């Protein structure tokens, strides 16, 4: 990153990115960006390839976008990697995604560590293999001492399921006499969500043209801004990501109130 800032020894591509970053004022950048990485299969089909080729290419895109977020000082990046509904896909595709997930942790853990990234996983663990779970836990532990961007991977995740799990946790505490029902407020509820400790989602980006949230971060995105693109995820670039941030920077966020009079 220091090469990009100083311009010394940086490639033309890196220098171009620095100029690109200047388009987004630091005080107008979102703290928490959430991305629905859609369109891997559609990209592959459009290239005359099998669907799994799109997932492989999508991992490369994720790496570029994660590095861009680190460079821009984004506090939290949350990506929708595998939903609770994705188990309905053909078994060979599911198995491929799980193996790809495992390989990603093997190959990218060092780079995440070098960038001081903290890693968290959102969602249920049931359904995951024991070997994959061990690798996930080891990755989280290895990066736990870092103080940089929080990188949340939503895997076997559903927003409704998360809310139900949180409600069940608080109900059990109330039943045990640890808390009274009237003690439950927004802060307490958020403390038992998978994203406990993270700021609310400021910006949700969805690629590949669909205009829906698809059960993603339903609580956390209550007042998020949305940005949609027809671009399939494997073709999504840092330049287009910055376009989304520039658009976000010009949004008026009132959170249910009115604009302050000048």
- What residues act catalytically? 38, 86
Please compute Rg for the chain using Cα positions.
Answer: 19
**Alpha carbon distance 66, 72 (integer Å):** 10
Residue 212 neighbours by CB under 8 Å, 6+ apart: 206
User: Diameter of the chain by CA atoms?
Assistant: 62
> Cα separation of 73 and 245, whole Å?
12
What single string gives the DSSP state of each residue in 140-206? HHHHTT--S-EEEEEEEE-HHHHHHHHHHHHHHHHHTTSS-GGG--HHHHHTTSTTTTSPPP-EEEE
């Amino acid at each position: 990153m220091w090469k990009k800032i100083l311009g010394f020894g940086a490639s033309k591509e890196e220098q171009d990115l620095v100029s690109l970053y200047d388009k987004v004022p630091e005080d107008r950048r979102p703290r928490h960006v959430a991305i629905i990485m859609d369109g891997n299969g559609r990209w592959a089909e459009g290239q005359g390839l099998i669907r799994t080729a799109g997932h492989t290419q999508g991992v490369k895109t994720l790496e570029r976008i994660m590095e861009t977020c680190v460079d821009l000082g984004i506090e939290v990046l949350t990506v929708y990697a595998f939903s609770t509904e994705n188990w309905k896909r053909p078994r060979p595709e599911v198995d491929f995604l799980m193996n790809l997930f495992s390989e990603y942790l093997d190959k990218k853990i060092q780079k995440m560590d070098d960038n001081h990234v903290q890693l968290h996983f959102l969602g249920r663990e049931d359904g995951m293999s024991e070997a994959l779970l061990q690798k996930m836990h080891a990755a989280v532990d290895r990066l736990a001492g870092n103080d940089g961007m929080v990188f949340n991977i939503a895997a076997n995740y559903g927003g409704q399921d998360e809310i139900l799990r949180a409600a069940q946790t608080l109900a059990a505490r109330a039943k045990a006499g640890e808390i009274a029902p009237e003690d439950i407020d927004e802060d307490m509820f958020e403390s038992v969500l998978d994203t406990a400790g993270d700021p609310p989602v400021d910006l949700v980006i969805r690629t590949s043209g669909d205009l829906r949230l698809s059960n993603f971060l339903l609580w956390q995105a209550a007042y998020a801004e949305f940005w949609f693109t027809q671009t399939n995820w494997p073709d999504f670039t840092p330049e287009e990501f910055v376009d989304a941030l520039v658009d976000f920077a010009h949004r008026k966020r009132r959170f249910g109130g009115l604009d302050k009079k000048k």
